[in-house]
Amino acid sequence: NAGVTQTPKFQVLKTGQSMTLQCAQDMNHNSMYWYRQDPGMGLRLIYYSASEGTTDKGEVPNGYNVSRLNKREFSLRLESAAPSQTSVYFCASSAGWGSGLAGFEQFFGPGTRLTVL
Amino acid sequence: DQQVKQNSPSLSVQEGRISILNCDYTNSMFDYFLWYKKYPAEGPTFLISISSIKDKNEDGRFTVFLNKSAKHLSLHIVPSQPGDSAVYFCAANSVTQGGSEKLVFGKGMKLTVNP
């Protein structure tokens, strides 16, 4: 039972390049999330998916796109990377509505450290 | 507009003493609160939570207190251990008022426990 896995762990891009961050969970969770963490800014929600087939914007969605490929996988795409997107990206999942209060507890992956030059 | 505030960016305590981490919120619709702990180069991990129907929840050395009238919660760690040194995030949600699965996080507080 791996929990939430993210690939890659590290990535360096040049401005304008594109890439996709992969996330998968094996807990049969309904909801999945993408966050970025920057110094002094805490965890900011980029996009989330409340269930398979749905996605919604979070606090900082500009410059990103997401795909909920299936119940297990939720990818984050940077179409044209910018230096402002240098950050640590975390994927998380939760059981969601219908699972009581425990359904709101989010489980996080280990993160992807992205540098855009 | 920051709905969950952790106003102190850092705290340093001696091993064996109490650590008190504070969190304030502005949205009166929040009714479920969580604390997460994060070590460097790792993802955050869930620590403890509290529902608004309670004013205290305890789990071993960790206790969370909720003061709804003041819109304030605090995490107490007693006794503090060097392994508790980490960044702690406070998070909140509205689970009974038609809210979503989203959590709103504070900016975090770095706790250092000195041996």
Provide mean pLDDT across the span A68-96.
95
- Could you check whether the bond before residue B79 is cis, i.e. omega within 30 degrees of 0? yes
Cα dist. B4→A42, B35, B103 in Å? 11, 12, 10
Q: Say what the pLDDT of residue B31 is.
A: 86
Q: Which residue has the tokens 């503090």?
A: B80
Tell me, what's the pLDDT at B99?
60
**Tell me, what's the pLDDT at A102?**
80
Residues of B in contact with A103 (CB under 8 A): 101
On whether any CB of chain A is under 8 Å from the CB of B97, the answer is no
Determine contact, residues B102/B94, Cβ cutoff 8 Å: no
Put simply, whether B11 touches A (Cβ < 8 Å) is no
Contact B43 A106 (CB under 8 A): no
Q: Which residues contact A107 (CB under 8 A, 6 or more apart)?
A: A3, A4, A25, A27, A29, A92, A93, A94, B46
Angstroms from A62 CA to nearest CA on chain B = 18
pLDDT tens for residues A1-36? 789 999 999 999 999 999 999 999 999 999 999 999
Tens digits of pLDDT across chain B (115 residues): 789 999 999 999 999 999 999 999 999 989 899 999 999 999 999 999 999 999 999 999 999 999 999 999 999 999 999 999 999 999 998 765 556 778 999 999 999 999 9
Contact at CB, B102 and A101, closer than 8 angstroms: no
